[in-house]
Homo-oligomer: A and B are copies of this chain.
Amino acid sequence: MTSLDTLTINSDRLRSDFDALAEIGKTRGGGISRLALSTADIEARSWFADRIEDAGLFLRDDDVGNVSGVLFSSQKNARTLLVGSHLDSVPNGGRYDGAVGVLAGLEVLRIVKEAGLELPVHLEVIDFTDEEGTWQSLFGSMGLVGHLSAAHFSDMIDDRGPFRAALKRAGIHPNDYLKARRDPATIAAYLELHIEQGRQLYDAAIDIGVVTRIIGRTTYQLTFLGEAGHSGTTRPENRRDALKGASDFILQAFDLVEAEFPLGTFNCGNINVLPGAYNIIPREARLTVECRHPDKARLRDLEAAIVRLAQDCASKHNLHLKTHHFVHMPAAEMDDSIINTIQEVCDKLHYSHVPMISYAGHDAQIMSTITPSGMIFIPVVEGISHNPKEYAEWDDVVKGANVLLHTVLAIALREGTPEQISYKRS
């Protein structure tokens, strides 16, 4: 087993992949725009497919556009150990978000293949479609686990014609999405390496974050409805100012979350005011609101408390309230056994580590609904992400990739007896 323990990923090759990928969809400020299904995203998938074939891996794609490379086990009835992340980005985002996980996964498969290891699992590195939600957040992993429905493609709530057109342009047929679903019995586990996107590891100078759970989130639209009126001549007691009510709600919502949901977050990312003239009292204020909480039940409580608060603020300001629910994505637990394995690997490699909650969403939260899943976080400078300034020290990327490699090997070990892992130099 000593020889397994000394395996390390090839830092230069990983770096060369990283730099090549960072050219695709690069923006002037050093950032990345690879919106899902865009020309840049399609180019990145194509580049990734070439790397898979260069590595002598089996190239696979499915009916929701996920692209993967497979290193088959020769064992009968072997299950698949998936590793991956996503190659798409937010507009003018960073080079590390998603890319690190996919490229490190590819590197792990190359190392295992080159070492001639015969594992009792198929290894598969996967690039999930549209993690960032250009069209449908976590689309690829949702398709793989079977969480998509016709509603995701239909025009029931809004016009999804452009989404269907973008899928078709990328060679994905919206009607075939059910074929992308995989039988959970065929999957051993899912592992994802990712930058933290917060500053916990960076501030504490810790090498690795071992994710214990991924925060759940709920997003909705709250519309406060009042009455338009002349800004000068309407007496204060007759004002029904939708923006004033909305402002009261926003401020109180932060206080509520801080006081009653210390692990939760609240964000109001946008507000639209009608009619919008300087001299007319706002008759409508439409807010885009998001709540996150790492605990499933508490997220439900938080969501209910926020809507109650909005109703109270509407009453207080003599307004009506309309709510429209977009997404409820429950919190996800990472697998205890995988958490332990990652911690053991870190200890063996002498990397400092800390258990942590992911306050961002990831494909791992979807995968965890059908298979034991785990996530490995690495520090990102000053916690900056979704930003051209996003930057991770290369040493940290390499450390993360090595943790991924040895976690893959340890999980593979559990799938069969140690004897089944044998050297078979090609």
Given A258-B236, A278-B219: A243 and B268 within 8 A (CB)?
yes
Check B267–A360 contact: CB distance below 8 A.
Answer: no
Chain A residues 249-305 with CB under 8 Å of chain B are 250-251, 254, 258, 265, 267-271, 273, 276-282, 288-290, 292
Tell me if A352 counts as interface (CB < 8 A to partner B): no
The list of the 5 closest CB pairs from A to B, nearest first, reads A231-B267, A198-B233, A247-B247, A232-B359, A270-B276
Partner of A233, one of B236, B244, B279, B383: B383
Question: In the docked arrangement, what's the CA distance between A273 and B285, Å?
Answer: 12
> Apart from A230-B359, A231-B265, A244-B254, what are 11 other A-B pairs with CB-CB below 8 Å?
A215-B232, A230-B360, A230-B385, A232-B267, A232-B359, A244-B251, A247-B248, A269-B276, A269-B282, A271-B273, A278-B289
Q: Contacts A273-B271, A281-B269 known; A238 to B288 CB distance under 8 Å?
A: no
User: Which residue of the partner chain B has the closest CB to A248?
Assistant: B251
Q: Which residue of the partner chain B has the closest CB to A279? A: B290
Contact assessment for A233 and B278 in the assembled complex, using a CB-CB cutoff below 8 Å: no
Are the CB atoms of A267 and B279 closer together than 8 Å?
yes
**Is there contact, CB below 8 Å, between A270 and B273?**
yes
Complex alpha-carbon distance, A241 and B217, angstroms: 19
A383 touches B270 (CB 8 A): no
Establish whether residues B254 and A250, one from each chain, have CB atoms under 8 Å apart when the complex forms.
no
Whether, in the assembled complex, A234 has its beta carbon less than 8 Å from a beta carbon of chain B, the answer is yes
Interchain residue pairs with CB less than 8 A apart (11): A197-B230, A198-B230, A219-B279, A228-B387, A236-B258, A243-B269, A267-B280, A269-B277, A270-B282, A278-B288, A279-B290
Residue of B230, B248, B360 near A232 (CB, 8 A) is B360
Option from B265, B281, B290 in Cβ contact (under 8 Å) with A267 = B281
Q: Which residues of B are found within 8 Å of A143, using beta-carbon distances?
A: none
- How far apart sit A244 and B267, CA to CA, in the bound complex (Å)? 9
Q: By the criterion CB–CB under 8 Å, are A233 and B197 in contact?
A: yes
A101 at the interface (CB under 8 A from B): no
- State the Cβ distance, A264 to closest chain B Cβ, in Å: 10
Task: Let me know if A28 is at the binding interface, CB within 8 A.
Answer: no
The complex places the Cα of A279 from the Cα of B215 at a distance, in Å, of 13
Determine the distance from Cα of A289 to Cα of B278 in the docked complex, in whole angstroms. Answer: 6
Check A359–B233 contact: CB distance below 8 A.
Answer: yes
Bound state CA distance, A281 and B289, in angstroms? 11
Name the one of B215, B232, B270, B271 contacting A292, with C-beta atoms under 8 angstroms.
Answer: B232
Determine whether A424 belongs to the interface, using a CB cutoff of 8 Å to chain B. no
